[in-house]
Amino acid sequence: MLYNIWGFVRQSAVRIHLAAAKTIYKISGGKLPKSLYCKRANPEKIPTDVRIISENDYSTTIAKVDENGNIKSDDFVIVSTTDFHFDVDHDINTKAVKNFVQHLKDIKPDLVVLTGDNILSKYQQIDAIQFAQMMEEIGIYWTAVFGNHETREDRGFYKWLLFKSFCDYEHCLCKFGPDDMFGYGNFTVNILGEGGKLLKTLFHFDSGRDILDRDKEKYGLPADFNGYDFLKKEQIDFYKNETAKLKKQYGSADSFMYMHIPLCEYSHAFKDDGNGRFVPTGECEILYGEQYESVGCSSFNSGMFDTILETGSTQAVFAGHDHVNDWAAIYKGVHLVYSLPGGYAVYNMGDKTGKPESEWVEGVTITTLHNDGSIELAPRYNRIYL
């Protein structure tokens, strides 16, 4: 209750601030404050056939429909991107959002998924609300998971408020998820295809930040065991139970999984050749892309990938976190994919590799779902707009 009142006050203050800035922009004859970087990207309405069919506390079911409301058999296109790291450097924010909006105008996707580190810190409500308002203006449905930069605990007021700042908007399909689960934002989006069959379920998970002392005890890890966080048992159970339910309801449970911190199995694609270059290990089929930094996964493998192999129904896992790895690969029959980074803050290809911008990997990842269940993945880089 207190969360809601205080949250309402904070969000209202941000909305008034943004409305005032937009008004000043209008009456000043186009002098746009730098902080309104989403406005600088010139967002415009993009028509969509996607409609919400049903929803509950942790899931939304959507489909592309024709003018009579019948579900269409068209391809369903998902754009994923990651690590915007919206921050006080508004020039960098502007560059990121301009490219992102241009991709959306050119691709006209059916859904957008952000795989975390969208906002640099949990206090930056203004960036969350500004981004959500821009997505309303564009009119494409979107989802997001949290990254390690948005969180310093599994639950807390500002983390809650940041997530609520997304959820409050009509085109955001984020859900807080079951109460008894780690973090905020463990939810699903079901995409229906022709005849109402399940085309794909998109599992979204909060992959946390650093391993908490509480979890070291719970998972039998030594007190000095540190590193990035991992998916918790209740999240794995949620995935198992939901998959079983979907199989019962639809006769199939084909799915994708979105999270910020990559699963440990991402480490099987490339290895350091001893000279600081990463080369394929031979354990995976590399579909495209390169690795320029070590996989920033947890040092503890809590078993999500093994559960994926057990259920046999997840075709692809999407992660963010490592800003300069742009590859997609198949490991043990499962696609492991990096969403291309949308942002340039904290570190980027230039900082990390010294390469010219014409070779940078920032951009978006396009996933096309065909009605026969097959999928296509393609990177689309910001460098095409240079």
d(CA 344, CA 237): 35
| Residue 116 C-beta: closest distance to Fe ion, Å | 7
Cβ nearer to Fe ion, comparing 148 with 190: 148
Cβ nearer to Fe ion, comparing 83 with 362: 83
Helices (H), ranges, the chain: 2-27, 37-40, 90-107, 125-138, 157-167, 213-218, 233-250, 304-311, 349-353
| Residue 96 C-beta: closest distance to Fe ion, Å | 12
| Residue 147 C-beta: closest distance to Fe ion, Å | 6
| Residue 273 C-beta: closest distance to Fe ion, Å | 25
One-character DSSP codes across 182-227? SSS--EEEEEE-GGG-EEEEEEE----SB--HHHHHHTT--TT--S
Cβ nearer to Fe ion, comparing 83 with 229: 83
Contact 82, 260 (CB under 8 A): yes
d(CA 323, CA 148): 13
Cβ nearer to Fe ion, comparing 144 with 369: 144
Contact 131, 86 (CB under 8 A): yes
Cβ nearer to Fe ion, comparing 117 with 362: 117
| Residue 43 C-beta: closest distance to Fe ion, Å | 23
| Residue 320 C-beta: closest distance to Fe ion, Å | 7
Packing angle of the helix pair 2-27, 157-167 (nearest 10 deg): 60
d(CA 286, CA 270): 9
Q: CB nearest Fe ion: which residue? A: 117
d(CA 30, CA 334): 50
Give contact residues for Fe ion (rule: CB under 5 A): 83, 117
Cβ nearer to Fe ion, comparing 83 with 326: 83
